Amino acid sequence: MDLLSAVFLGCFVFGFVAVLGSLLLGGAHGIHLGAHHLGMDVGHGHLGALHGHGAAAGGHGGHMAPSGGDAAHDNAEGMFPLNPTTVLTFLTWFGGAGFILRNYYGVMAVASLIVAGLVGLVGAGAVFVFLLKVLLPNQTVMREADYDPVGSVGRVTVAIRDGGVGEVVYSRGGTRRGAGARSLDGRALEQGTEVVIAKYDRGLAYVQPWTEFVSPERRRTAAEGSD
């Protein structure tokens, strides 16, 4: 085996092992996007961001976070051809093709480099098209807003005593979640009360009754704040 054959073999082994290890370790991962979720989305149990001392509800100001499908589409469009997956694919195909051409067909060094390079580009291009057209558009994008409990609508499952701690259950990111809860103003809340999580700190949700959150006074305050 000459030096060029050893280089081809090394490229193939390195690329193949890296790709295999990536698959075994769950190398396909989501792209995280930070986004501020504003507005009113009662159907998904989320009412929007709460600002400082006031709660803003109903289509006033702000910008909507992209949906999972839109975010995945943006990720696909922003994907560069030169990325770890395509580089490893190129090395694997380049090394494999070069080694076969050099050792089994006796192709000259320069010709084997050229042909192997073309084969590597074809392989990397095919993988890139697959990622761009098939994998990324169907990917579920994880967004920070999907896991932030603030603004979520929930229900008190363990009564909150006056100045004490109870429990609230709410839905977020497509799953049902529970958390220790205090009343935002420290008063008691009965079991079954529908609430909005106004603040989340050190594992405790600070909640406000839903009926107060959507009161006309709150709406007027929110409207004045957005002017």
Q: Is the pLDDT of residue 102 over 60?
A: yes
pLDDT for 21-72, tens place per residue? 877 775 444 433 333 333 334 344 445 444 333 333 333 333 334 444 554 4
Which two structure tokens, joined as six digits, stand for 57?
A: 């509800």
- The C-alpha atoms of residue 98 and residue 80 are separated, in whole angstroms, by 26
Q: Count the Cβ atoms, other than its own, within 10 Å of residue 132.
A: 15
- Helix or strand (DSSP H, E) at 95: helix 84-104
- Evaluate whether 35 touches 145 at the Cβ level (below 8 Å): yes
Q: State pLDDT tens for residues 177-217.
A: 888 898 888 889 889 889 988 888 888 889 989 888 776 66
How far apart CA 56 and CA 80 sit, in angstroms, is 39
Q: Which residue intervals of the chain are DSSP H helices?
A: 3-24, 68-77, 84-104, 109-130, 210-213, 216-226
Tell me the pLDDT of the chain averaged across its residues: 74
Domain extents in the chain = 3-43+62-138, 149-226
Element of type H or E holding 206: strand 204-209
Pairing, β 194-201 against β 153-158: antiparallel
Per-residue pLDDT at 94 exceeds 50: yes
**pTM tops 0.85:** no
Torsional sign, CA 153, 157, 161, 166: negative
What is the pLDDT, as a whole number, of residue 133?
83
**Domain 149-226 classification at class level:** mainly beta
